[in-house]
Amino acid sequence: MRNYIFILMLLFPFILLGQEKEQDSIPKRPSEFVVLPATGYTPETSFTIGAFMQYYFDFARDTTARMSMIQIGGLYTLKNQIYLGVLPEIYTKGEKYIFSGQIKYSKFSDRDYGLGNNADAVIYQYDLENNEVDSANYLDFKYQSFGIEALGLRKIRNGLYMGLHYNFERLWDYGFVADSVDIRMQDDSRDEFGSQWLSGTRSGIALALNYDTRKNSNNPLNGTFIQFRNWYYRPWMGGDFNYTGLSVDARQYMNFFREQVLAVRFLNVQRYPHNGSPMLKFDMARVGGNDFARGYYNGTYIDNHLTAFEIEYRIPLWQDKESTIWQFWKRLGIVVFASGSRVYEDWNGFSLKDMRFAVGVGGRLLLSAEQRVNARLDIGYGLDPQSDFNKRHLGIYIYISEAF
């Protein structure tokens, strides 16, 4: 039964494609290969090197539809982390149907700050060979993972899509980075550093709803984006976990003067375990990272629920789009941003007074005026003094594309 469901989910996009009418005899737009270097820096990865090859092709044969794409590539980081992935995006005529997905493998090392809105664990990690000890409020761990995602959306009306989203992920080879670990203080009632939170298989399906009026998704001048997911992870789908999830990601972009943009984001994540089932921490509500709550290490705060906001003001310093990439001083911009986040185990634990705030500034370099693609350098500052043993988090992020 599990295998049949898994196969049906993988074939879902092709079943819908088979229902499409034959394409009209419209000449295809030319295909194109693009190779993009993938370099960057975040606290979670250190410096990253890699490349992605993107193949654009005209599946829709419709100039009003976006070009379809298949992306293949990989990354290696100075923390010896590896990522390999294949990401297709298919657009049919008139963008009546949109299909996307991902097949990925990663070998990663990361930090585990435990659970809850207080990163106050005390952990001693020993290097026995060098007779060294490091005390921190997080646990260094490593793992491997393999995942498959498939998303199929049908247009309801302009800007509004509905469909199904399937997710499968297997995590294994969980272990400590240090030779020996001594957890001095944690929430024993939840065993917040137990391996059950970071190993196993999740398999689930979601009702997916997207509303998008942006004309450019890379760096919108104006428009609205709302993404809703209602997840069902069940053992009969081939996973080890049993829980339900809801998430809403709402973004508004407002253009007040020339190409200056005020971007506002609201995020709400809810996870409801059934019959005492644990959840993978990677699917729980989490704070931090290069694209959300910049300044906190990704996963500094993790729990069942999250309520958060983020606001950013983007100011291009010059408007000379005809300049070459070598005239970089004509392509610069700046941003300022702030965020507030709160994770909690259940609704009784929610309180606005316990929000974890972060602020930051950033610089921008326009790489493509036509596609509005920027390279960014952000410096984020976590304001919670308890986030890292009384040393506030500071994150530096070098990335291509906006945070949201």
| Domains and their CATH numbers in the chain | 2-400 (2.40.160.50)
Q: What is residue 7's predicted lDDT score, i.e. its pLDDT?
A: 45
Q: What share of the chain is helix, strand, coil (3-state, %, to 5)?
A: 10, 55, 35
Average pLDDT over residues 60-75: 90
Q: What is residue 173's predicted lDDT score, i.e. its pLDDT?
A: 92
Q: pLDDT higher for 22 or 240?
A: 240
Checking if the pLDDT of 123 tops 50, the result is yes
Percent of the chain past pLDDT 70, that is, above it, reads 92
Contact assessment for residue 38 and residue 73, using Cβ atoms and an 8 Å cutoff: yes
What residues contact 15, with CB distance under 8 A and at least 6 apart? none
Checking if the pLDDT of 117 tops 50, the result is yes
In this predicted structure, which of 96-100, 131-135, 172-176 has the lowest mean pLDDT?
A: 131-135
The structure tokens 């654009």 sit at 56
Checking if the pLDDT of 319 tops 70, the result is no
From residue 363, alpha-carbon distances to 98, 265, 379 in Å are 33, 20, 9
Tell me which DSSP letter residue 63 carries.
T
User: How far apart are alpha carbons 21 and 399 in whole angstroms?
Assistant: 41
Q: pLDDT higher for 364 or 324?
A: 364
Checking if the pLDDT of 120 tops 90, the result is no
The model's pLDDT over 20-61, given as tens digits with 9 standing for 90+, comes to 544 555 677 888 888 878 888 898 999 999 999 989 999 988
Taking alpha carbons only, the member of 123, 125, 270, 146 closest to residue 206 is 270
Contact assessment for residue 76 and residue 48, using Cβ atoms and an 8 Å cutoff: yes
Q: pLDDT higher for 217 or 110?
A: 110
User: How far apart are alpha carbons 282 and 299 in whole angstroms?
Assistant: 9
Q: Share the mean pLDDT of the chain.
A: 87
Checking if the pLDDT of 146 tops 50, the result is yes
Average pLDDT over residues 158-163: 94
Checking if the pLDDT of 207 tops 90, the result is yes
Tell me which DSSP letter residue 400 carries.
E
Task: State phi, psi for 210 to the nearest 5 degrees.
Answer: -125, 135
Q: pLDDT higher for 18 or 363?
A: 363
DSSP for 91-135? Answer: E-GGGSEEEEEEEEEEEEEEEE--SBS----EEEEEETTTTEEEE
Centroid of chain to Cα 37: 20
The model's confidence at residue 308, banded by pLDDT at 50, 70 and 90, is: very high
The model's pLDDT over 281-303, given as tens digits with 9 standing for 90+, comes to 989 999 999 889 999 999 999 99
Burial group, residue 264, by CB count within 10 angstroms (0-12, 13-18, 19+): middle
User: How far apart are alpha carbons 377 and 361 in whole angstroms?
Assistant: 9
Alpha-carbon torsion 114, 116, 117, 121, what sign?
A: negative
Checking if the pLDDT of 130 tops 70, the result is yes
* Cα atoms in the 13 Å half-sphere on the side-chain side of 49: 3
Checking if the pLDDT of 399 tops 90, the result is no
User: How far apart are alpha carbons 385 and 398 in whole angstroms?
Assistant: 25
Cβ–Cβ contacts within 10 Å for residue 142, how many? 16
In this predicted structure, which of 266-275, 349-358, 385-394 has the lowest mean pLDDT?
A: 385-394
From residue 16, alpha-carbon distances to 12, 97, 123, 238 in Å are 6, 8, 51, 24
In this predicted structure, which of 52-66, 235-249, 269-283, 376-390 has the lowest mean pLDDT?
A: 376-390
The structure tokens 């657009």 sit at 91
Q: pLDDT higher for 75 or 278?
A: 75
Give the angle subtended at the CA of 379 by the CAs of 373 and 380, to the nearest 5°. Answer: 110
Checking if the pLDDT of 396 tops 60, the result is yes
Burial group, residue 176, by CB count within 10 angstroms (0-12, 13-18, 19+): middle
Q: pLDDT higher for 389 or 268?
A: 268
Average pLDDT over residues 108-130: 89
Taking alpha carbons only, the member of 304, 302, 293 closest to residue 393 is 293
In this predicted structure, which of 82-86, 130-134, 269-273 has the lowest mean pLDDT?
A: 130-134
Q: What is residue 391's predicted lDDT score, i.e. its pLDDT?
A: 64
